[in-house]
A and B are shown apart, each in its own frame.
Chain A
Amino acid sequence: MALFVAGLSHRNAPVALREQLAVEEDKLRELLLDLQGGDALQEIVLLSTCNRVEVYGVAEAPGEARALAFRALCRHRGVDLGTVEPLLYTHLDADAVRHAFRVAASLDSMMIGEPQILGQVKDAFALAQACESVGPSLHPLFSQAFSVAKRVRTETDIARHAVSVSFAAVELAKKIFDGLSGRAVLLVGAGKMSELAAKHLVEQGAFPIYVANRTWSRAVEMARALSGTAVPWDELTTALEAVDIVVTSTGATEPVVTRAAVMRVMHGRRGRPLFFIDIAVPRDVEAGVDSLDDVYRYDIDDLKQVVDANLRERAREAQRAESLVEREVGKYLARQSDAEVIPTIVSLRARLEEIRLGELKKTLARLPEATPETRAAIDALSNAMVNKILHVPITKLRESSRAGASRSWLELVHELFGLGRRP
């Protein structure tokens, strides 16, 4: 019986093929029930997202099981198996465990650290559970994968730093201001990206929101959408005095916020920092404001640079996550192999203990005049003999299971000691 995972992902399969193969939940259920009906697969979980289609299974012959599963999938989606087959990867046993952990922890994702994948794996597992297609191998595997994913998220910064421009701007604001709640935001100009940045800021507690636009009706409209206040265009400079964060995205060809204006404003602010997020191209805020104290200006290129730095930071954290996963794989495998031999060890001990107690009773019955000391000594003697005899077989069993070769040993022990059929 072998654990395997087979499938294709964004790493090797083009998006055109992935979207063709992706299966929605209803069909997944059908497929699961279908595959489970046959003898080839003992257990099965199907994971289908836009970035990967994978089969996690337990089978006597993983190669056949894989072929069976993907034949069914391809038939279902009307894809030629011939185009899929050469792209499939297969991982067995320890490699399959590692793969499951890495996928759940978002280390195999297109965007390392993205949070959706864990939910998708959980859904796939829940579906398989509902179809009763998970058993003693996949159940602990997935439970452990979830807890490893959680550890990776909490113990590394793999998902911490923003990888989008608008979130990067929010993070920058958090490095300038002592918390964002109650920080006033001014939006200058309308644009999807500035609206998005404003929404993120509001989510972090920023308030109130002002909107300025050359077209008054546009300003009013956007202010309503963000529960903010519209500001007349010619009062822009006055508004600068009252706010902490300014998001600009006008289509103007000349800067709308000049260094001179900001310099005037800064006098009245008594050291409160002013943060410009300039998403417009050409830029709306004069680059000269950089030399003013307490003024921070990030244009779109600066923000992209921050995102790049964040990505590098994520990649560094991913290395830490990989070693964490590696340790967890080792622990999991050790536990699994122990779990495999423990029932046999327990029944072996029980068998010998039964023999020992039987013989002890007989012997003591024949020695009515024995002192308590003698009785205790005989008891201890028999105990010691049993333990000495058991020591080597038990050690051998544990070792063989860690080496992945416990099957023949388990059978041998069952035969030799008459323990009956293996469960």
Chain B
Amino acid sequence: MQPTLINAALIGYVGATGLALAYLVQRQDLVHRLAVLCALAGWAAHTVALIMRSIELGAPPLGSLPDAISVVVWVIVLLEMLIEYRTGLRVLGAFVLPVAVVLSLKATRGPAATLAPALASAWIWVHIALAMVGIAAFVFNFAGAIMYLLQERQLKAKRPGAFYYRLPALQTLDRLTFQTLALGFPFLTTGLVLGALWARVAWGSAFTYDPLAFLSFVAWVIYAGTLAGRAAAGWHGRRAAYFSIIGFAALVATLGAGLFLPGRHGS
């Protein structure tokens, strides 16, 4: 039952992504409404699936990386729908939903993994939850950066195209990327610190080699640099957007490493 629901959710998200992209090109209210409907249906199925998963595990579905990513996707889709509804930024889905789909493709079908006994502690849940909130914020950071670059290109090229009409003002997008960075960074930082502390308690060293831990540190450095650049050196606009994209690439690599390479985070 639960795999069926997860598949239904994935189909909903894929449909919503296709429709959201179609809406970007062919501005039709009906297409947008269908996209929202698809996303909502997928999200509802996803919600039920996560609840069933929790019951099955007897714990929040954060204990394995695939489960945790599934929760991230759930949060992303929820936030996407909320922000779109609140701000009227109807094109957001076209930039956020593809990421959600990519994340959920691999993430949603894991065996019912549970935490190794060495890890069973309340702190581990906090570590995972904080890191996941950070990741969700960076997905929006990434989407904002992409939108900024597209809009900036159109304005510089002086040839208004679909994006010029659909996307908001440059300054708005720049603010969005800054705010999501400022929001996501503390969560990511605290999540990483807790992870390192916990590694020391569990394995005796905070920096034992683990692909996910290593790459997440790389991503953290990139984001820390961007934030510092923004705050102190007045970085903004294109440069900040490029760094957001690089940081996000590192984050995706982090999750990929966690899923595909052997290490302490599973697989």
- Residue numbers of A with Cβ under 8 A of B are 155, 157, 161, 172, 174-179, 270-271, 273, 290, 293-294, 296, 298, 302, 305-306, 309-310, 313, 320
Contact = CB atoms under 8 A, between A and B. Distances in A.
Contacts of A176: 155, 169-171
B262 to A, nearest CB: 44
B263 interface: no
B158 interface: yes
Contacts of B170: 175-177, 273
Contacts of A298: 158
Interface stretch (B8-16, B118-126, B230-238): B230-238
Given A296-B156, A306-B158, A309-B160, A178 B172 contact: yes
Contacts of A161: 165
A270 B236 CA distance: 9
Contact of B151 (A175, A294, A302, A305): A175
B27 to A, nearest CB: 7
Contact of B159 (A174, A177, A270, A305): A305
Contacts of B165: 157, 161, 313
A47 B169 CA distance: 42
20 contacts: A155-B29, A175-B155, A175-B164, A175-B167, A177-B169, A177-B170, A178-B169, A178-B171, A271-B237, A293-B238, A294-B236, A296-B156, A302-B158, A305-B159, A305-B160, A306-B158, A306-B160, A309-B160, A309-B164, A313-B165
A210 to B, nearest CB: 21
Contacts of B236: 270-271, 294
A174 B169 contact: yes
A390 B166 CA distance: 56
Interface in B206-229: none
Given A176-B170, A270-B236, 19 more contacts: A157-B27, A161-B165, A175-B168, A178-B171, A271-B234, A271-B235, A271-B236, A271-B237, A273-B171, A290-B156, A293-B238, A294-B236, A294-B237, A305-B158, A306-B160, A309-B159, A309-B161, A310-B160, A320-B28
B29 to A, nearest CB: 7
A324 to B, nearest CB: 10
Nearest to A317: B27
A301 B98 CA distance: 37
A273 B235 CA distance: 13
A290 B152 CA distance: 12
Contacts of A309: 159-161, 164
B175 interface: yes
A271 B28 CA distance: 35
Interface in B161-195: 161, 164-165, 167-172, 175
Contacts of A155: 29
Given A155-B29, A293-B237, A294-B237, A177 B171 contact: yes
A6 to B, nearest CB: 35
Nearest to A320: B28
Contacts of B172: 178
A349 B23 CA distance: 50
Contacts of B237: 271, 293-294
A221 B78 CA distance: 56
Closest 8 A/B residue pairs (Cβ): A178-B171, A271-B236, A309-B160, A302-B158, A270-B234, A178-B172, A176-B170, A175-B169
A157 B164 CA distance: 14
B30 to A, nearest CB: 10
Nearest to B171: A178
Nearest to B239: A293
A180 to B, nearest CB: 10
Nearest to B233: A270
A178 B171 CA distance: 5
Nearest to A155: B29
Contact of A296 (B155, B167, B168): B155
Which one of A174, A178, A296, A310 has the highest number of Cβ atoms from chain B below 10 Å of its Cβ? A178
A293 B160 CA distance: 19
Nearest to A275: B155
A74 to B, nearest CB: 46
Contacts of A174: 169
Which one of B27, B29, B168, B175 has the highest number of Cβ atoms from chain A below 10 Å of its Cβ? B27
Contacts of B235: 271
Contacts of B28: 320
A8 B171 CA distance: 49
A298 B158 CA distance: 7
Contacts of B171: 176-178, 273
A270 B235 CA distance: 8
A305 B155 CA distance: 12
Interface in B8-55: 27-29
Nearest to B234: A270
Contacts of B234: 270-271
Interface string B239-262: 000000000000000000000000
A214 B169 CA distance: 34
A303 to B, nearest CB: 9
Which one of B160, B165, B236 has the highest number of Cβ atoms from chain A below 10 Å of its Cβ? B160
Contacts of B155: 172, 175-176, 296
Contacts of A178: 169, 171-172, 175
Which one of A157, A174, A179, A294 has the highest number of Cβ atoms from chain B below 10 Å of its Cβ? A294
Nearest to A310: B160
A174 B234 CA distance: 23
A302 B27 CA distance: 25
Contacts of B27: 157
Nearest to B236: A271
B233 to A, nearest CB: 10
Nearest to B158: A302
A320 B238 CA distance: 36
